[in-house]
């Protein structure tokens, strides 16, 4: 019985060390939200709060996106708003290029799903410490925009 208990604790400790080693220490947030029924409507605005503890640190902010192979465009326009502790909102329009002119997807593919992580703020310093909220909404002509699986944000410390 004692041998089994020691083996259990040894395996548990090794597993925890492995998991701790797999975390990305530079990531402040890397969060995705599933788009209901893969149909992104104008009303679906995805919110991602990010707590910034060091205003002197430079960060890179990415938009995460997953689309199916049935997505019918080679790009995607989004509006991304950033609201800081001062409650000021700064919306900006971005284009994400998803495919080459010949139709080849630029994202990482797995089955019928293509993943993208596109930077929209590089070496960015947040003005003050506090919680910032990024809101992402689709800005295409189609409503709903079909075959969009997930939308997200990643904020990481720049090197």
pLDDT tens for each residue of 30-77: 999 999 999 999 999 999 999 999 999 999 999 999 999 999 999 999
d(CA 38, CA 147) in angstroms, rounded, equals 5
- What pLDDT is stored for residue 10 in this prediction? 41
Q: What are phi and psi of 107, to 5 degrees?
A: -80, 175
Name the CATH architecture for the domain at 27-157.
Sandwich (2.60)
Closest CA to 63 of 124, 115, 129: 115
Whether pTM exceeds 0.85: no
Q: Taking Cα atoms as reference points, which of 62, 59, 35 lies closest to residue 46?
A: 35
Coil/strand/helix, residue 117: strand
């Amino acid at each position: 019985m004692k041998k089994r208990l020691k083996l259990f604790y040894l395996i548990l400790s090794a597993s925890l060390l492995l998991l701790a080693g797999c975390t990305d220490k530079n990531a402040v947030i890397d969060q995705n939200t599933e788009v209901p029924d893969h149909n992104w409507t104008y009303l679906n605005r995805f919110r991602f709060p990010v707590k910034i503890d060091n205003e002197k640190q430079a960060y890179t902010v990415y938009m995460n996106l997953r689309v199916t192979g049935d997505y019918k465009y080679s790009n995607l326009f989004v509006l991304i708003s950033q609201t800081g502790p001062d409650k000021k909102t700064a919306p900006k329009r971005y284009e994400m290029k998803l495919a080459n002119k010949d139709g080849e997807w630029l994202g990482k593919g797995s089955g019928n799903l293509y993943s993208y992580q596109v930077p929209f703020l590089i070496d960015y310093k947040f003005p003050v410490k506090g919680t910032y909220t990024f809101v992402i909404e689709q800005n295409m002509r189609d409503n709903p925009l079909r075959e969009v699986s997930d939308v997200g944000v990643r904020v990481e410390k720049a090197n």
